[in-house]
Amino acid sequence: MSPATRIDRCRSCGASGTESILDLGRTPLANALLHEHELDRPEPTHPLELVFCPACALVQINATVPPDELFRDYPYFSSYSDTAVARARELAQRLIRSRTLGAGSLVVEAASNDGYLLRHYREAGIPVLGIEPAINVAEVAVQNGIPTRTDFFGAELARSLVAEAHRADVFHANNVLAHVPDLNGFVEGIATLLAPGGLGSIEFPYLRDLIDHVEFDTIYHEHLCYFSLTAVDALFRRHGLVVVDVERIPIHGGSLRVFCGRAGEHAQSGRPGALLAEEAELGMQHIGYYRSFAERVGKLRDELREQLARLKQAGHRIAAYGASAKGSTLLNYFGIGRETLDFVADKSRVKQGLYTPGTHLPIVPPERLLEEQPDYVLLLTWNFAEEILAEQQAFREAGGRFVLPIPRLEVV
């Protein structure tokens, strides 16, 4: 295991003098699920601290774990979430119409996962190219008929694609910008790869939702950056791209979908300007906006720990749902483990039979909830609450209750 690299300069603008927002201490990698035989071994941990750049307003963590360690055997398959698949189809259909895409077009996606998005273009007869660094995930995409390169997207790959006469009429990057160590290289790559008049569609969790709803559990080593539109706008402009439209979308606890293109090639909607003005009004370009965050996270920790302790004292059995990265941050930082929770249920068969990092909870299929009928289930994947509560109707009708930690602590 290679150590994390400490980052002293801003990942976007290169300025020094970042300021601390929240220090989560040393934690194991949030997706480093363990096999049973690994439970007795010392587990590697890395520093995890959220900082703010006063020069360009980018919020980021100040350590980088080598990407090869994070992504080569990534257990997350997008198609496992019904919500993600439905949203992907809707976005593809919309862009096919609005960009009048056809057999002569090309749609490229960075971090294309198992082809959950590109397959909707392919089904409409539009050529696609996926770029996915995780070997096991890229193999699944290829089996699904999605041409996929096993690689990290960046300036260098974009130049070689252009040299092979690939230009993107639409370029997607969903939930990847936050993971990229070379942020400027990635955005330069978008500017390089876009065909004349081409459009980039970039989605990432919105920092404002993270701060306002205390979504601190979305902070983990894979997520290097946490974006406001202010920070993204500065980053894109540096590479000749402008934000031509923006939407707030209710995914992953609140995200932004930003449409970008080369300066001068697109009509700009009024929405980016309006959102930038809102962020300025809120003060998101100053450290003051972020000052109370650590305190609010501490308060949530106290409340949740007290709540679970009360339930435990009353003799209730408690399990968790969702062996997710955010669950790992929450359990490790809040110090909630086997003394409180019996197991974690998760739909992903890749995760079942393994153990959660740091807390070593066994991961089991969701059917175990009905079989064992624990009294309470701590919902760690609260971003899919609606979907999971609906799926667990039988468990709930039998008396099982869910504890939702975020956006506010509630029992349903």
Q: Which stretch binds Zn ion (CB under 5 A): 45-53, 103-111, 291-299, 350-358?
A: 45-53
Task: Give the whole-angstrom CA distance, residue 370 versus residue 382.
Answer: 20
- Is 201 one of the binding residues for Zn ion (CB under 5 A)? no
Q: Interface with Zn ion includes 287 (CB under 5 A)? A: no
Which CB atom, from 9 or from 312, has the smaller least distance to Zn ion? 9
Give the pairing type, strands 194-205 and 168-174: parallel
* Beta-strand pair 376-379/59-61: unpaired
Q: Which is nearer to Zn ion, 226 or 321 (CB)?
A: 226
Q: How far is the CB of 18 from Zn ion (least distance, A)?
A: 8
**CB contact set of 201 (below 8 Å; sequence gap of 6+):** 91, 95, 170, 171, 172, 173, 174, 257, 258, 259
Cis peptide before 407 (omega within 30 of 0): yes
Residue 61 near Zn ion by CB under 5 A: no
Q: Which is nearer to Zn ion, 53 or 170 (CB)?
A: 53
- Among residues 7, 9, 13, 389, the one that binds Zn ion under rule CB under 5 A: 13
Residue of 4, 10, 101, 323 that binds Zn ion (CB under 5 A): 10
Q: Is 148 in the site for Zn ion (CB under 5 A)?
A: no
User: Residues touching Zn ion: how many (CB under 5 A)?
Assistant: 8
Concatenated DSSP letters of 366-386 = THHHHHH--SEEEES-GGGHH
CB of residue 242 to Zn ion, shortest distance in Å:
19
Residue 357 CB partners (closer than 8 Å, separation 6+):
28, 29, 30, 31, 32, 33, 34, 43, 328, 332
- Report the residue from 7, 34, 55, 263 that binds Zn ion according to the rule CB under 5 A: 55
CB of 122 to Zn ion, least distance (A): 38
Q: Which is nearer to Zn ion, 52 or 333 (CB)?
A: 52
Contact 194, 168 (CB under 8 A): yes
Task: Tell whether residue 225 is a contact of Zn ion (CB under 5 A).
Answer: no
State the nearest-atom distance from the C-beta of 194 to Zn ion, in Å.
24
Tell me which stretch binds Zn ion (CB under 5 A): 46-54, 132-140, 235-243, 317-325.
46-54
CB 21 within 8 A of CB 194: no
Q: State the minimum distance, in angstroms, from the CB of residue 235 to Zn ion.
A: 9
Rule CB under 5 A: choose which of 24, 48, 56, 128 binds Zn ion: 56
275 binds Zn ion (CB under 5 A): no
Q: Who's near 256: CB < 8 A, 6+ residues apart?
A: 203, 204, 206, 227, 229, 232, 246, 247, 248, 249
Measured from the Cβ of residue 135, the count of other Cβ atoms closer than 10 Å reads: 12
Cα separation, 39 vs 342, whole angstroms: 16
Closest approach of Cβ 360 to Zn ion, in Å? 38
Q: Is 235 in the site for Zn ion (CB under 5 A)?
A: no
Residue 25 CA to residue 269 CA, distance in Å, equals 42
**Where on the chain is the footprint of Zn ion (CB under 5 A)?**
10, 12-13, 15, 53, 55-56, 58
